[in-house]
Amino acid sequence: MKLIKRNYGWVIVAILAALPLLVIFNMIDVDLASGLSFSMKEGAGGEGKTTLEMLYHVSGEFAIRWMTAVLTLTPIFIIFGVTNLFVRQAMGIATAVWSILHFIIFIAAEGFLETFTQVNYVAGLIAVLILIPLLFTSNRKSMKALKTNWKKLQSLAYGAILLSLIHVAILDKTWIIYAVIVGLGFIIRIPAVKHKFIQLRIKRKASKS
C-alpha cells in the first residue's frame, strides 16, 4: 500500500495508458480452440472505417497524444512549478508502448517492406526506432548507469515527436492540434520567455504568503 501511495502518479498513468487497450481488444477475436490465434472482427471499426483502419487510428492517435503530453510537462513545470520525474518516465513508457503497438499493427497488416514505400511511413519507423532505447532506459537503474548521458539520450524524444508530426501531417490534418501544443511548449522553453514565467510564478507565490 505504501508503495502504491509513493508511486500513485505512475499508477494513474499506467491505468490511463492501458484503458484504450480495451477498445482494441474489443475489435479482436481470440481463438483458443486450435491453439492461440487472433483475427479482427468484421465491421468493428465504426465511423465509416474498417476494423484495420480503426486499429491504426486508435493506436496511432494514443501514441501521438502521449508523446505530446510528455513534451508539455516541462512547460507545465515552468508555468506552475509542478513536476514529477517518474510520472514523466511513466508517460514516456506509455508513448513508446503505444507507438510500437501502432507499428506492429501496421506490419501485421501491410508487411515490413511497405514501411519504405512512403515518406510518412519511414518517418514513423525512425520515430519508433528512437523510442525503443528510450523505453528501455526509462528507469532508475539506467539513470544511475548513464548519469549525465541519460538526459542526452532522453532528449532524442524531440526528434521522435518531430518525425511523428511529419508522419501524421501527411496522413491526417488533425496533426495541427498537436503541432500547436508542441510549438507553444517550445516557445515557453525559450530562455527569455521561461525566465518571465518563472518570475511571475515567484511573484504569485510571494503574494499568497
Rg (C-alpha) for the chain, rounded Å, is: 20
Q: DSSP for 81-96?
A: ----HHHHHHHHHHHH
Q: pLDDT confidence of 130, banded at 50, 70, 90? A: very high
Does residue 134 register a pLDDT over 70? yes
User: Using CA atoms, how far apart are residues 39 and 131, in angstroms rounded to an integer?
Assistant: 28
The pLDDT > 90 percentage for the chain reads: 6
Q: pLDDT confidence of 84, banded at 50, 70, 90? A: low
User: Using CA atoms, how far apart are residues 80 and 91, in angstroms rounded to an integer?
Assistant: 19
pLDDT (tens digit, 9 = 90+) per residue, 148-183? 888 888 888 888 888 888 888 777 766 778 888 888
pLDDT the model gives residue 126:
94
Calculate the dihedral angle through the C-alpha atoms of 155, 179, 105, 96, rounding to the nearest 10 degrees. Answer: 20
Residue 30 host element (H or E): strand 28-31
Q: What is the pTM of this model?
A: 0.80
Give, in order, the Cα–Cα distances in Å from 203 to each of 11, 144, 195, 197. Answer: 34, 36, 12, 10
For the chain, which residues make up each domain, given as ranges?
A: 2-208
